[in-house]
Structure 1
Amino acid sequence: MRLIAPSAASTPETFDLVFVSQAIDERGSRSLEIARNSANHVVEVDYDPETFHLKLGDAAFRASDLDSIRQAFPGAMILLDATSLDPVEMLILSRAFLYNAEDRRRLGFVYAEPAHYKPATVAIGMDYAFTFADKFRGLKSVPGFANELRDDEGGRLVACLGFEADRLDRILQDDDGNFIKHVTLIFGVPPYRTTWEMHALLPHERVISKHRSCELAFAGANNPKATYECLKESFQAIGQGERLIIAPLGSKPSSIGIALFACCRDNIRLKYDFPVKLEGRTEGVGAIHRYLVDRR
């Protein structure tokens, strides 16, 4: 993990390719500027959860066709603009470039924190309500992470959480909720800014008190490795007849951690509700990070 200077034009490294999506706020535009300046070629990304197709530039690929994606985009250094890409897009691309242990790639991520989040309502104390999506497409399967739980199989859910408690409710009320035997909720602590953790903890208080099998875990909001380690602990705790279920609902760095953990493992189930992002949901630009990993 490395901080990028606020005035920097690019990352310290030059990448062969960068994968980007659309900016919806000021920090997104700044992240895109850095990402585009850091690579020799820029590829626009758009995943359709209805058709399971991933559009990469002018070409469309089935999300399960990792070999075709890998072969279509050669290059030893690959950059993902985590600010604009959604968690599923990062997961599919991470799987395409890191799953094959013989195909040595280095994968980088650039991410810009916001200076402020805009609350949807004004409240007393820390109990604000935040709305970051115009709507949700709903829980949909993702190739490679869609194997159904068997009737005799229990789920161990690990969810990284943000400020919107209804997203976790949506997962627990889904059919899989009947099979979930244990829940680990990962909160971004330390947060980007002091007190921001309360915007996540308070809305989820009801869910935490309702589910006796729920345990809390904490990983720095801008620390993918800390999220990775939390997932590793949960994975090691899986008993016979259990399956790990992951839900990337928190900060983008936590979604990077989830992508890096899940992309090289099989038999993990993903739960994601595909929000349609609301433009202008943040203000300003905070710290800008570059993360760099490879398959070992």
Structure 2
Amino acid sequence: MIKHKAHIYTDVFRSFDTTDLNNIHIFSGRVLDDRGRELLSVFSDSKSNIHLVEFNANQMQFSIDGHVIDFNDSKYLESIINIENNVMIDSTTLGLPEIYYLIKQFINLNFLEFKIIYIEPLTYNKDESDEFYRLSHYPIGYKPIPGAVGDLHHDDLELGIFFIGFDSSRMEIALEEFQMIQGKLIKTIFATPAFSSGLEMESIVPHLNILTDNPKFEIDFCSALDPTSSFEMLNFYKRSLDDGKKLFIAPLGTKPTTIATALFANLNSDVSLLYDHPMNLENRTSGVKDWHIYSVYLTPIV
């Protein structure tokens, strides 16, 4: 298998113009809020091909345009895109599994350049009766992502990395369901600077009880805005492991940290993913603020 190293470049736009782009293929999920509607508005023209991508965690099925495909089989994707196309992933409407499998297929097809979009909301919606944000619910819970599954009991799995978001119940449930990981070295990563000033406290405060109950958990910080920050952090932590030791990642935080996790797991086949497959609530956010365009460049390592 050919190994790759990655570089990620970030651009931020108030709006996104596709005028100078041709043969666009954008892979996205179901529309739930203003950001998804904005995405469809921008790309709904004759130059753009919009592909619906879904992962059914209960049935372990990955689909593109309604076609259920094998995680490692790129034949369908090869039939609809080629190296000359502008290939994009909309992470706004997609979760970790879809982003992970799309990147895996792009690498299989030797697509060494592609873009990942994240549309920042103007506001996150909060129930006035609730102190904290509740943007999703979790009827599925923690289920494996084929291709990135490791034995959490095994001694060679030394380090766990939790990227943290608003909802502390996600980490609480992981620690309860997988009690063996509490004996590992655990890094709890908060996103700061946040997309907007003050949002970092919306993540830190709900997790204070967990950190108090687990004083051995180490705290670190990475940018909420730029996946390069978390990607480089993952590289640093992996290099710090002793020979033969492995790590797992639980991307429960901002979408840029999820993007970094999906890319990193594809470039490091011994990395395990711990994920609870949230179902995002409709109209969980309002408005559209900025478009974050992450250009990914892969270089084969000879």
Same structural fold, with TM-score higher than 0.5 when normalized by the shorter chain:
yes
1:60 equivalent in structure 2: 68
Work out which of the residue numbers 235, 239, 246 in structure 2 matches 1:236: 239
Retained in 1: the 8 A contact 2:153–2:180? no
Deviation at 1:38, TM superposition (A): 9.6
Q: Is 1:115 aligned to 2:122, yes or no?
A: yes
1:270 equivalent in structure 2: 273
Q: Is 1:88 aligned to 2:97, yes or no?
A: yes
Work out which of the residue numbers 4, 10, 29 in structure 1 matches 2:13: 4
Q: Is 1:34 aligned to 2:42, yes or no?
A: yes
2:193 equivalent in structure 1: 190
Work out which of the residue numbers 146, 169, 182 in structure 2 matches 1:143: 146
| Structure with more contact order per residue of length (Cα contacts < 8 Å, sep ≥ 6) | 2
- Once the two structures are superposed, residues 188-239 of structure 1 have per-residue CA deviations (whole angstroms, 9 ceiling, x without a partner) of 1111111110000001111122223312222221111001011111111222
- Once the two structures are superposed, residues 265-289 of structure 1 have per-residue CA deviations (whole angstroms, 9 ceiling, x without a partner) of 1111111111111111112111111
For 1:69 and 1:153, the matched residues in 2 are separated by 37
1:251 equivalent in structure 2: 254
Work out which of the residue numbers 47, 53, 70 in structure 2 matches 1:45: 53
Deviation at 1:97, TM superposition (A): 0.9
- Matched residues, number: 288
For 1:203-214, list aligned pairs within 5 A. 203-214=206-217
Is 143-152 or 37-46 further displaced after alignment?
37-46
Retained in 1: the 8 A contact 2:157–2:248? no
Is 253-262 or 147-156 further displaced after alignment?
147-156
For 2:221 and 2:46, the matched residues in 1 are separated by 32
For 1:179 and 1:13, the matched residues in 2 are separated by 48
For 1:176 and 1:79, the matched residues in 2 are separated by 38
Retained in 2: the 8 A contact 1:35–1:110? no
Deviation at 1:60, TM superposition (A): 0.9
Work out which of the residue numbers 19, 25, 29 in structure 1 matches 2:33: 25
For 1:229 and 1:21, the matched residues in 2 are separated by 27
Distance of aligned partners of 1:252 and 1:38 in 2 relative to their CA distance in 1, 3 Å threshold:
farther
Retained in 1: the 8 A contact 2:134–2:167? yes
For 1:252 and 1:138, the matched residues in 2 are separated by 19
Structure 1's unaligned 5+ residue stretches are none
Letter in 1 for 2:112: R
Is 198-207 or 43-52 further displaced after alignment?
43-52
Distance of aligned partners of 1:105 and 1:33 in 2 relative to their CA distance in 1, 3 Å threshold:
farther
Distance of aligned partners of 1:279 and 1:154 in 2 relative to their CA distance in 1, 3 Å threshold:
same
Retained in 2: the 8 A contact 1:78–1:105? no
Letter in 2 for 1:71: E
1:161 equivalent in structure 2: 164
TM-score, structure 1 normalization:
0.88
Distance of aligned partners of 1:37 and 1:258 in 2 relative to their CA distance in 1, 3 Å threshold:
farther
Taking only aligned residues, the RMSD between alpha carbons, in angstroms, comes to 2.3
Is 135-144 or 70-79 further displaced after alignment?
70-79
For 2:272 and 2:283, the matched residues in 1 are separated by 32
For 1:242 and 1:213, the matched residues in 2 are separated by 19
- Once the two structures are superposed, residues 50-79 of structure 1 have per-residue CA deviations (whole angstroms, 9 ceiling, x without a partner) of 22211101311122x244355344322310
Letter in 2 for 1:97: F
Identity of matched residues, %: 24
Distance of aligned partners of 1:261 and 1:152 in 2 relative to their CA distance in 1, 3 Å threshold:
closer
SS in 2 for 1:183: strand
Distance of aligned partners of 1:179 and 1:188 in 2 relative to their CA distance in 1, 3 Å threshold:
closer
